[in-house]
């Protein structure tokens, strides 16, 4: 049994998949923020942010350089090491704390002014609604839960089935099953943008956006 197999022998298939993905390539994602996160957070006063599925830290870096204190969470240790290194390379290591969590089994503690779930989708079973509901409950009063999902097939994705069903913003919001006396939807939208794939190819894609504010 080699070192890699020993290290992840006892973890879930999802954890093995994501760790293998990051270990297999020097850089999986661009070190830039997802546009809808930057667009949303630019209008918020900096506070405490939770970055769910932080990947290699592009969103966490953007938040930290704009005054936020970020808890960056991922299932893959390699992703977290790259996030911490990116923060250090840009002089904001004191604003980014990395934590390893399998969100299907556990959730980070604390109260947050912003919880960002950018493309928190997986080829493995994931209790998304339960995770995102918990995220809403971790918001401080006035805090925002920002969910951005893929809303169309990207040519470079692992799933290119043209018949793939993408839930609507209303479907995602309804699945959260939140008390309307404590949370209100701020944005339910499906904007389009031109995206660039890992090999430089471009395509017009649709994003599904759900922004929820905690009011009590």
> Over the stretch 29-80, which tens digit does the pLDDT of each residue have?
677 899 999 999 999 999 999 999 999 999 999 999 999 999 999 999 999 9
The Cα–Cα gap between 144 and 82 comes to: 26
The angle, 0 to 180 degrees and rounded to 10, between the axes of the packed helices 77-89 and 13-23 is 40
Number of domains in the chain: 1
> Who wins on pLDDT, 29 or 206?
206
Find the DSSP H helices in 104-195: 128-137, 169-176
Q: What CATH number corresponds to the domain at position 36?
A: 3.40.50.150
Q: Which range has the worst mean pLDDT, 28-32, 156-160, 201-205?
A: 156-160
pLDDT at 27: 60
Q: Are 167 and 140 in contact (CB under 8 A)?
A: no
Query: With pLDDT > 90 as the criterion, what percentage of the chain qualifies?
Result: 69
Mean pLDDT of the residues in the chain = 88
The angle, 0 to 180 degrees and rounded to 10, between the axes of the packed helices 169-176 and 128-137 is 70
Which H or E element spans position 53?
A: none
pLDDT at 58: 96
Q: Is 164 helix (H, G, I), strand (E, B) or coil?
A: coil
Domain assignment of residue 156, given as a range = 3-214
**12-26, 139-153, 194-208: range with highest mean pLDDT:** 139-153
The Cα–Cα gap between 10 and 24 comes to: 20
pLDDT per position as a tens digit, 146-155: 999 988 877 7
pLDDT at 24: 58
Decide: pTM greater than 0.75.
Answer: yes
Structure token pair of residue 170: 């209303």
Integer Rg of the chain from CA = 17
pLDDT at 176: 98
The Cα–Cα gap between 71 and 205 comes to: 29
CA dihedral 109, 87, 67, 210 (to 10 degrees): -60
Q: Is 147 helix (H, G, I), strand (E, B) or coil?
A: strand
pLDDT at 9: 40
At 88, the pLDDT band (50, 70, 90 cuts) reads: very high
Is 70 exceeded by the pLDDT of residue 7? no
């Amino acid at each position: 049994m080699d070192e890699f197999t020993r290290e992840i022998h006892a973890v879930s298939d999802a954890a093995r998949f994501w760790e293998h993905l990051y270990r297999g390539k020097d850089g999986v994602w661009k070190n830039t923020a997802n546009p809808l996160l930057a667009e949303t957070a630019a209008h918020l006063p900096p506070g405490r942010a939770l970055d769910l599925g932080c990947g290699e830290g592009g969103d966490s870096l953007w938040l930290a350089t704009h005054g936020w204190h970020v808890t960056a969470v991922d299932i893959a240790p390699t992703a977290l090491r790259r996030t911490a290194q990116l923060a250090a390379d840009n002089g904001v290591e004191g604003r980014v704390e990395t934590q390893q969590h399998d969100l299907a089994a556990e959730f980070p503690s604390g109260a947050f002014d912003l919880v960002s779930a950018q493309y928190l989708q997986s080829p493995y079973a994931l209790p998304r609604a339960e995770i995102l509901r918990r995220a809403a409950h971790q918001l401080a009063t006035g805090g925002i839960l920002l969910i951005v999902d893929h809303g169309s097939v990207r040519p470079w994705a692992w799933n290119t089935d043209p018949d793939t069903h993408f839930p609507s913003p209303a479907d995602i919001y309804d699945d959260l099953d939140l008390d309307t006396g404590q949370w209100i939807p701020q944005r339910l939208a499906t904007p389009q943008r031109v995206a660039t794939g890992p090999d430089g190819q471009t395509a017009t894609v649709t994003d599904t956006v759900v922004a929820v504010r905690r009011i009590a």
